[in-house]
Each structure stands twice: as C-alpha cells, then as structure tokens.
Chain A
Amino acid sequence: MIKIDKLTKNYATLEALKAVSLHIPKGELFAYLGPNGAGKTTTIRMLTGLTRPTSGTAFLNSYDIRKDVLSAKQQYGLVPQAVNLDQELTVSENLKIHGRLYRMTRKNIQNRMSDILSYVELSDYTDALVRTLSGGMKRRLMIARALMHEPAILFLDEPTVGLDANIRRKVWALIKKIQQSGTTIFLTTHYIEEAEFLAHRVAFLAKGSIVTMDTPRNLIDRQGKWAIDRISGDTLDTLYFASRKEAENFNANGDVQYTLRRVNLEDAFIAMTGKKTEPAAEFTSAPPSHHGSHKGHSAHGSHGGHGSQSVHGRHKTH
C-alpha cells in the first residue's frame, strides 16, 4: 500500500511537485504518466529517500517515509531510470551486495538469487560481468535486484526507456508477472502504450500536479470511441466521435488527408494535459509494434496506432 499525502518539492525557482496526494492499494499496478519535467521522477525520488520532500509525506505499508525512514526503505525495491548496476562486478555479486544492504542472510541470498535469476531468465549469466550483458538483460537484472529482498512495493522509473520494441514487451510481461504475484507497483513512464497495457489505474501528471486519475478504459471512454487525425499543412489535429459510423460520416472539409482510428490513452492524455500542440519531442509514443501503423504522423502531436485505419482520399475540398 502506498499513501501519498500532499507531497511537495520546491527547488529554488521551480515547484517540481505541488501537494500531490494518492492512495494505491496493495497489489495495484499504478502508472504515473507525464511529459518530461512533469514531476514523475521527483515523486519516485522522494518516495524512495533519494530526495528530501519540501513538505508533505507518504506512507509505504504504513511506514512514514520521513519518520520511519529505514523501515519504509525495507518495504520497496527500486528500478531507477538510469542503469545503476556495478558494471565491473558479476550478476551474482550485484545481487549479493543488494541482499546484504537489505539485511538478508547468506543462505537467504543464495536461495533467493537462484530463484530470482530464473524468474527473469538470467540463470545462465550468474557469473557474467554486468558490462557484457545487453541493454534488455541489464534491465531485467535491475528488476531482479529490486525484487531480491521480496519487497511488497516495486518502484519502476521508466523501466523500458531506450529498449527496442521486442525487449520492451518482454519487460512488460515480466512486470505483469510481478504484479500478479501480489506486489504493488508504482510505474512512471512516458510511453503511453506501456501504461495502457500494464496499469490498473493511470494518473496524468503535468507541471507537478495530477491532472486526472482513473482506469485506462475510463480515461479513453471520456474522449469517445473513434478518432480522426487530420493533417492540414504541417498541423495534425484530432476529432473524436462516439461511434465509428459518426466518424465515417464526418465531412472533412478542406483536409488533404485524414486517418480513422480507435481512441487510445494518448488521446486522453493530450486532451487532459493540453499537450495537443506541443512538439512531438515533448512527449514520446512507443513504436506501435503490434497494432499496425497509421499514416499521418507530423511534427505536431504523435499518436499511437490502436486500430488505426487510413482513409486517404475520402476528403472533400471547398
């Protein structure tokens, strides 16, 4: 269980997080979604003792992160954004040191290490130097390390950033498996598909505040069922419809081309956070590896390809 109570972080001239409150029950996979600089990593850093909150607090399984610091730290495992493994040590040495940091006995470390490496499919690499592992293996090892001491809570800070689509899906499967074992997971990501695929609930964060929070399905439904992306000049905008029929009947006045597709979580995100006209670099969408692709990408906005369908040519000019 994670309970965040008016957690705030101010830097000299910046309010990085503004009195955020949340309650995440045991076993939930909660995704914290937002563009770069929204306050995602700041939240995780404060929850995991890497950054001191300016005000407010949080409880991890009833332990106050500000008062019961060491007990609170024993409750979670952390997979940070940057790979922070000891590259010059072996896989097993990394896990052993982690086990010692978390008060595990030698016997416990040995037993758990064998289980956890098998769990993340790295059993064959026990004695390999970490620097010889691939990016995906390192990510899986970081997850294994975070799970070594069997924490009730797992913090994943952008766990698939920089990984290719296949490896990303492998990590997703692992995260699902961990959640199904009863672990509470707090995930930050700016890959919309990741949150949509994995999370029970999603919070949209913008400029240090939670804009909205709900299940991915409810957030999507608020936008409508179908969308049309219109490209006009160098601008892409999107219109939403309650039904496919309504969308198909849409009279696309003056548009050069447009694409019909299902509404996805990214639409909800853009609508809620007002990021519709931000440059694509502000907000990254993972490559639509399994949904097919759609045409109509432009410099403005970027949309996932859930159920997209090109309807080029169905335009009408004035």
Chain B
Amino acid sequence: MLHGMTAIYTREILLLRRRLPKQIPSWSVSPLLYLIAFGYAMGREVMVDGQPYMTFLIPGLVAMSSMTQAFAIASEINVARFYWHIFEEFQAAPISNLSYVLGEVMAGVTRAILSVLVILLLGALFGVTLSLNPYFWLAVILNAFVFASLAVALAMLVKSHADQSMLTSFIITPMAFLGGTFFPIAKLPIWAQKILYFLPLTHAATAIRSAALNLRVEWMSYGILLIIGMVFFYIAVFCVEKAKD
C-alpha cells in the first residue's frame, strides 16, 4: 500500500515545490488583507472574548487557511483528471484506492501546514505570537484531514472544472465566513449557533484558537473533527472506485 501512497504524495509535492515561489505569495494575499482590514484598521481597539481582536482573528485565519489549502487539492486532482488525464495513470497502476486517497490527503495536509506557517509569519509581523503547542498542530492536521478528504471525494464526483468551482462557492466560502473565523459564534442567535455547530470549521476554529491561546483543550471539537474526517475519508475511497465509469 505504501508504494502507491508515496508515489501519489511525491508527485503532488514535486508539483508544489515547483510552484512554491508563486504559491507562497498567493497564500499570503487573502490573510494579509483580512489582517489589515479586520484586524489592524477596524479592530485595533476591539476586544473579543477578553483578547485583542487581532489575537482572536489569527487562529481563525489559521483554521480558514488550512481548510482552503487542504481543499485546494481538489483543484489539483481535477486538473490531473480532466486536463492532463494523469488520473488514468493512477487508475491503471497496481495501487489500491485507499493508497491513492491517502497520498492525496497527505498532500492536502502538507499544503495546509505550509499555508499555516505563512499565516503564523504574518501574525508575527503584526505582533501576535501564538502558542504553537502539540494541540495546536493536532487541530490544524485534523482540520486539514477533514477538508482534504472532502476534496478528494468531491473531486471524484464532479464532471468538470465548473462543477468544482461551484462546490467551492457553495461549501467552502460560506464556511470560511460562518465557521468562527472572524467572530465568536456565541454572539449569534441560538438557532444559528445550532446550525453552525454542524460545520467542521466551527470545531476547527474552536480547537485551534483554544490551543493557540493556551485555553482549555476542546476535546469534543477534536473528536468531532476526527469522526467527520474519517467519514469523508471513507466516502473518498468509495468515490475513487465510483470514478471508474
């Protein structure tokens, strides 16, 4: 199983390494704008949950960025599938669907971790340093695992690039804004909180923020992320088989 996983992972990492000089600036743009607009300009004097808004915001951006970059593996798979037809090379190879998904998910997690490092660097430039303890990284990895698994599953189901961007618009963008990235969920009405409780990013933001600010470890959120991730991962393996027409 390992040979298939490492082959898939190696390919993604080789591509990522080649594009890294362009990727790093692109990973920086959105967080930088959020930091300037929401954190620096608007929220300089604002306190949220007893923390300066900038300190509240950066763990949220970590959650959001790790989500979007892990999910971005879907675009890579789509390009490989519909444009370069590389996916056929993987389908024809003697590797299991499980090892294929593992390789892609690991690549998604790697992208997510690299993008988080960019956010942490930007945060440091804005004078905010977080506690980068094991709970922080565990939450980041679980969040990336959830969205990379979802990305692989959806990439197998879509029929074109257009479908993929539509899914991003309907799933990722709303979650990025409503999952506790920019504001505390507790400020919303109870009915809204109940709905948002089902979003994995809500739990990722909670777990990452608590760990980064040395607050109580939110085990419930870790557990929910793990369960959702495993469900998405299982669906992804199933969808790879279904991708054979």
Contacts and interface: CB of A to CB of B under 8 A. Distances in A.
Q: How large is the interface on A (under 10, 10 to 19, 20 to 34, 35 or more residues)?
A: 20 to 34
A70 interface: yes
B187 interface: no
7 contacts: A71-B94, A84-B88, A101-B3, A101-B4, A101-B93, A102-B94, A103-B3
B194 interface: no
B85 interface: yes
Contacts of B162: none
A93 interface: yes
B206 to A, nearest CB: 38
B21 to A, nearest CB: 13
Interface string B1-41: 00110110011001100110000000000000000000000
A49 interface: yes
Contacts, number: 71
A93 B16 CA distance: 13
Q: How large is the interface on B (under 10, 10 to 19, 20 to 34, 35 or more residues)?
A: 20 to 34
A78 B86 CA distance: 12
| Chain B at the A interface: SS class | helix
Given A86-B15, A89-B15, A102-B94, A97 B10 contact: yes
B84 A87 contact: yes
Interface of A: 48-52, 69-71, 73-74, 78, 80, 82-89, 93, 96-98, 100-103
A74 B96 CA distance: 12
A197 B156 CA distance: 40
B95 interface: yes
A194 to B, nearest CB: 22
Best-surrounded residue of B11, B85, B89 (most CB of chain A within 10 A):
B89
Contacts of A88: 15, 18-19
Contacts of B93: 73, 98, 101-102
Contacts of A73: 92-94
A45 to B, nearest CB: 8
B6 A100 contact: yes
A80 B85 contact: yes
Best-surrounded residue of B11, B90, B92, B245 (most CB of chain A within 10 A):
B92
A87 B96 CA distance: 25
Contacts of B4: 101
Q: Give me the 6 closest cross-chain CB pairs, A-B, nearest first.
A: A100-B7, A84-B85, A73-B94, A101-B93, A70-B94, A101-B7
